[in-house]
Amino acid sequence: MPYLTAPVLAPGTLSSTAQPTLPTGDGLLLRPWRAEDAPAVHAAFQDPVMQQWHARAADSVDEVGGWIEEWRKAWTQEQTAQWAVVDGGTDLLLGRVALREVHLDDGQAEMAYWTTPAARGRGVAARATVALSRWALDDVGFHRLELMHAVRNEASCRVATKTGFALEGTKRSAVLHPDGWHDMHLHARVRGDGSPSAER
């Protein structure tokens, strides 16, 4: 039975080229993960704030090394795409930004991010989100990017709002965190909304 609509993005849209490094234009780089990032990621996951909003723990540097290998391979599978967010001058790891739940046929993906404790309060998550959003919507041709966070995670809500992800509603009791079920805010950007900015 034929479909009545054509795929928004064809298979191979991502995997046919190497994962790019994306500059934010203000001192940060979004680059593919490297094996040597494992100690810094492990350290980030020891932070109580990270543990509050993430369901995954990191018990060892070796375990994180396995994650990074998965993140690197994921590009070719076109289901998720992960970037390290680093200082453009020193290569110091400041966070992570990703497209998850990638559906090329529908031209949709879910934005996700975290930052290291030392990077918080410097606009790192917002700047990285803007850079990845511009690339995904304007350069690649995704139609819609969604962003979800726990309603109680006010910092993440500020990032979403600041970068032009409109609040569309609340998904009740949608995600299980270590302290129980959380309502989740659903934000989204659609191609044509206008260029996102971290300065809003």
Q: Chain-wide mean pLDDT for the chain?
A: 93
Q: What is the pLDDT of residue 200?
A: 47
- pLDDT tens for 61-95 read 999 999 999 999 999 999 999 999 999 999 999 99
186: left (phi over 0), alpha (psi -120 to 50) or beta: beta
Q: What is the pLDDT of residue 172?
A: 97
| More confidently predicted of 192 and 86 | 86
Inform me whether the pLDDT recorded for 1 exceeds 80: no
CB 95 within 8 A of CB 107: no
Q: What is the pLDDT of residue 198?
A: 66
Q: Looking at 21-25, 96-100, 110-114, 177-181, which range is the least confident one?
A: 177-181
3-state SS, one letter per residue, for the chain: CCCCCCCCCCCCCCCCCCCCCEECCCCEEEECCCHHHHHHHHHHCCCHHHHHHCCCCCCCHHHHHHHHHHHHHHHHHCCCEEEEEEECCCCCEEEEEEEEEEECCCCEEEEEEEECHHHCCCCHHHHHHHHHHHHHHHHHCCCEEEEEEECCCHHHHHHHHHCCCEEEEEEEEEEEECCEEEEEEEEEEECCCCCCCCCC
The number of CA neighbours under 13 Å toward the Cβ of 92 is: 11
